[in-house]
Amino acid sequence: AQKITQTQPGMFVQEKEAVTLDCTYDTSDQSYGLFWYKQPSSGEMIFLIYQGSYDEQNATEGRYSLNFQKARKSANLVISASQLGDSAMYFCARRGGNKLVFGAGTILRVKS
């Protein structure tokens, strides 16, 4: 099964600090892609960052970076300088065939 595991149901972080959201995945494929999405209370899934399995460097997009450890099959999202607007649900996903397979998500709350 192409399972995505997010072991942290909820996380708190102080404003302006960094936070790491964990994600591990199952796969026997050599080539695959990993995604992180943010889902505010409004419900819309917002694409944050992508990591390809053959990318030589960890992906970065502004305050978002991905700590990709291929041998451990982990793709943790790092958010630097947290802002109050970062409070949301965060989902890790892997492309399996033509579809995305999502984890159960992590709720992040940023405290002022």
Partner 1 sequence: DAGVTQSPTHLIKTRGQQVTLRCSPKSGHDTVSWYQQALGQGPQFIFQYYEEEERQRGNFPDRFSGHQFPNYSSELNVNALLLGDSALYLCASSLGTSGRNSEYFGPGTRLLVL
Contact pattern from residue 56 through residue 95 relative to partner 1, giving x for each residue in contact according to CB under 8 A and a dash for the rest: -----------------------------------x-x-x
Stretch of 11-19, 20-28, 36-44, 69-77 lying at the interface with partner 1 (CB under 8 A): 36-44
**With 0-12 CB in 10 A as exposed, 13-18 as middle and 19+ as buried, what is 44?**
exposed
Whichever of 82 and 106 has its CB closer to partner 1, that residue is: 106
Q: Which helix (H) or strand (E) holds 58?
A: none
Stretch of 16-24, 61-69, 76-84, 103-111 lying at the interface with partner 1 (CB under 8 A): 103-111
Q: Whose CA is closest to 108, among 85, 94, 100, 93?
A: 85
Residue 35 binds to partner 1 (criterion: CB under 8 A): yes
Q: How many residues does the chain have?
A: 112
Distance CA(25)–CA(102), nearest Å, equals: 10
* Binding positions for partner 1, rule: CB under 8 A: 4, 33, 35, 37, 42-47, 50, 52, 91, 93, 95, 97-105
